[in-house]
Amino acid sequence: MDGVTKHSLRGRLASHCLLLETGRSLALIDTGYGLPDIAHPRSRLSNFFLALLKPELHESMTAVRQIQRLGFDPKDVQHIVLSHLDFDHAGGLDDFPQATVHLLGTEIDSAASQKTVIDRLRYRPQQWNTRAQWRGYAADAGEAWFGFEHVRELEGIGPEVLMVPLIGHTLGHAGVAIRCDERWLLYAADAYFFHAEMDERPRCTPGLRLYQTMMEKNRRLRLLNQRRLRQLRLASKGEIDIFCAHDIGEFEQHGGHSHHEPAQMARPAQKVRPVDVGAIHSV
């Protein structure tokens, strides 16, 4: 499954979220599981995915608790950029009722329609109590960015954070590009699941290949966007750092701590610095 775990068909995956210090507030990229998911998993999550994935639901690992551990006030999270509405990315929305949630409008429409059995299992309206705060963006508007079309800035965040449509895993799936000093970070979310899928000669574990196929909404676009991400990584020569949501190795590389442990406060708590993107924390 994960290319690391031995003597087992199962493996370990991360739920990678990012906390950005911005000029006046905090922004969260994806939310992982939330406190209500921990307290009431069977009413919030599907029994099918609970049995299939066996998520480790620990309160200390939720985004809201890790933000507190880092010395910040969760009420300062004024923006959430959501890659898509799958239960393991949107579960923490209820923990930040004050935040504006930015996502593609096609994701809202697809999730709400719940046309297939998988849709009804992956999209959990129980997690959507902040829907009045959602801001949907047209998937066919925006500018070109390193070979990707319809890339756009987000209202209230600034030009250092861009939404990059990466349709395929879902019909409104998006990555998030973050300008950090002289380079870009590109969080590709579920556009791929295994780090070696971005190699010049790509490969993926059989388990993750099967899971991606089971969950895809548009196979042609999913594989096309994987190829474009791979080409961008090779062409950028390190100037664009691409990583996904669930690969353990990529999470630990960027987070600087074990996936078994919550983020650690590496410095005394401080106010958000008056810059566009001051710091990035993996949680």
pLDDT in tens, 238-251: 889 999 999 999 99
pLDDT band at 168 (very low <50, low <70, confident <90, very high): very high
| Predicted local confidence at residue 4, as pLDDT | 83
pLDDT one-digit tens code per residue, 87-137: 999 999 999 999 999 999 999 999 999 999 999 999 999 999 999 999 999
C-beta separation of 85 from 111 below 8 A: yes
Provide the CATH number for the domain formed by 18-282 in this structure: 3.60.15.10
List all residues 6 or more positions away from 234 whose beta carbon is below 8 Å from its beta carbon.
200
C-beta separation of 159 from 167 below 8 A: no
Could you tell me which residue, 270 or 242, shows the higher pLDDT? 242
* Mean pLDDT calculated for residue range 138-148: 95
| Predicted local confidence at residue 3, as pLDDT | 85
- Least confident span in 55-69, 168-182, 259-273: 259-273
pLDDT one-digit tens code per residue, 9-63: 788 999 999 999 987 799 999 999 999 999 999 999 999 999 999 999 999 999 9
- Least confident span in 3-7, 14-18, 79-83: 3-7
Tokens 């099918």 found at: 48
| Predicted local confidence at residue 274, as pLDDT | 32
| Predicted local confidence at residue 259, as pLDDT | 85
pLDDT band at 277 (very low <50, low <70, confident <90, very high): low
pLDDT band at 74 (very low <50, low <70, confident <90, very high): very high
* Mean pLDDT calculated for residue range 183-199: 97
Residue 269 has pLDDT above 70, yes or no: no
Domain ranges of the chain: 18-282
List all residues 6 or more positions away from 69 whose beta carbon is below 8 Å from its beta carbon.
60, 262, 263, 264, 265
C-beta separation of 164 from 176 below 8 A: yes
Average pLDDT, the chain: 92
